[in-house]
Amino acid sequence: MGNTDLTEEWDVVIVGGGIVGAATLYKLQSRFPAKRVLLLEKESLLSDHQTGHNSGVIHSGIYYVPGSKKAITCAKGRKELVAFAKEHGVKHDVCGKIVVAMEEEELPRLQKIHQRGVANGIEDLRLITAEEIKAIEPYCSGIAGLWVGCTGIIDFRGATNKMAELALALNPSSQVRTGEEVLGTGQADGASAVRTNKGAYRAKCVIFCAGLQSDRLARADGVPVKEQIVGFRGDYYELTEKGKHKVRNLIYPVPDPRFPFLGVHFTRMTDGSTECGPNAVFTFKREGYGKTDFSLRDTWDALTYGGTWKLFFKNMSYGIDEYRRAFSKKLFLKTLRRLIPTLQMDDIKPGRAGVRAMLLGADGEMVDDFRIERKGDHIHVLNAPSPAATACLAIGEHIVEMAVEEGVLR
């Protein structure tokens, strides 16, 4: 890329306006208020993909392997996020949740989750009886459970916008620009060059927080990423006014370790609605939220990648069941009734959908932990699945520390 098109100079350019990008902007500007930072987001709004379509849950950190980046960052980030929400008026509620075992075979897995939570230092955590489940969620049936008092709900879109707002207040010379898609990066006169659909920029440092497009932008930047992002859509139902009283806060099943998702659960949202879901089905468009959305490029990339087929074959029966549920309200209701047996067809109505970016290895195994890598003066967030939204402030701080320690930011 030549330097004739470079019209603006910045200290740092951040690519991606989800909550991780916004948190990085906030942490960076807090530590270096004099630096001019530009955040670029291709959509017209911040947090318009994974952040704005997730379940809105403040995760505790009970599920993650002790000592992993997820475990450490989630617990730290959760506390910081709750404090941030309290200080800056972001809608949230630390209401707690229950994880419910419905069959004897699930009890050892419930015990293991409890042990992991204890190992991770999760507060307000205790095993509960069937009677205690009923006291917390009267319509829920289970033989044993786990109370997780530090889990909550939050408006992640509101949190994203507040982080960006506070960052820009620290340095009015910094900017957030929406509707601007990054098309390429390179080097020009010893500085990083970023080309978009609206202009071109020079920067001393570029940080990529690109979510569903993270692997593509990394490869375009010369990062040898062996894995590939594969999208999974999660469809939600919503409790109707008739059914809403049957769920007070958050109810989760015991996850099946054979599958890479937490299972269908109930979540009260900050707007007062209650969602049920999600399922998890392969999506034919990385940023497609409708059941029939299709992108030839995304489909080709996913279905010509060996890891996708290995994942399919390993989880064949699970995948078929998920697809059947995606198109059948009756089957979705049957799954929901495992937790709330009295739920009726008119207690639920179709809701929204989200797409999760999963970094998938050639062996068909999902990369479970967060992955952030540096290439020269560029930092790439290659894998930030759930609980990245909960952990966003800790992730942002880690990125800034990494940039400072490795001499990217001076």
402 pLDDT exceeds 50?
A: yes
164 pLDDT exceeds 50?
A: yes
Q: Is residue 69 part of a domain?
A: no
Q: Is residue 132 part of a domain?
A: yes
Looking at the fold, whether 275 and 362 belong to one and the same domain comes out as yes
64 pLDDT exceeds 90?
A: yes
Cβ neighbours of residue 293 under 8 Å, at least 6 residues apart?
A: 283, 284, 285
Q: Is residue 66 part of a domain?
A: no
Looking at the fold, whether 326 and 239 belong to one and the same domain comes out as yes
Q: For the chain, how are helix, strand and coil distributed in percent, rounded to 5?
A: 35, 25, 40
Residue 85: count of CB within 10 angstroms of its CB: 21
Looking at the fold, whether 161 and 36 belong to one and the same domain comes out as yes
Q: Is residue 92 part of a domain?
A: no
Instruction: Say what the pTM is.
Output: 0.95
Looking at the fold, whether 209 and 292 belong to one and the same domain comes out as no
Q: Average pLDDT, stretch 375-387?
A: 95
List, for residues 84-108, the tens digit of each pLDDT value: 999 999 999 999 999 999 999 999 9
Write out the E strands in 303-383: 348-360, 371-375, 378-383
Looking at the fold, whether 341 and 309 belong to one and the same domain comes out as yes
HSE (side-chain half, CA atoms, 13 Å) at 188 = 20
Which pLDDT belongs to residue 82?
Answer: 98
150 pLDDT exceeds 70?
A: yes
Which pLDDT belongs to residue 410?
Answer: 80
Looking at the fold, whether 352 and 206 belong to one and the same domain comes out as no
Q: Is residue 63 part of a domain?
A: no
Which pLDDT belongs to residue 3?
Answer: 40
List, for residues 318-341, the tens digit of each pLDDT value: 788 888 888 899 999 999 999 999
List, for residues 201-222, the tens digit of each pLDDT value: 999 999 999 999 999 999 999 9
Cβ neighbours of residue 11 under 8 Å, at least 6 residues apart?
A: 32, 35, 36, 37, 203, 204, 205
DSSP assigned state of 244: G
Q: Is residue 59 part of a domain?
A: no
Residue 103, domain extent: 97-149
- Total domains in the fold of the chain: 3
Looking at the fold, whether 40 and 171 belong to one and the same domain comes out as yes
Can you tell me the distance from the alpha carbon of 246 to that of 336, in angstroms, rounded to the nearest whole number? 12
Looking at the fold, whether 208 and 283 belong to one and the same domain comes out as no
For the chain, what is the mean pLDDT?
94
Do the Cβ atoms of 358 and 385 come closer than 8 Å?
yes
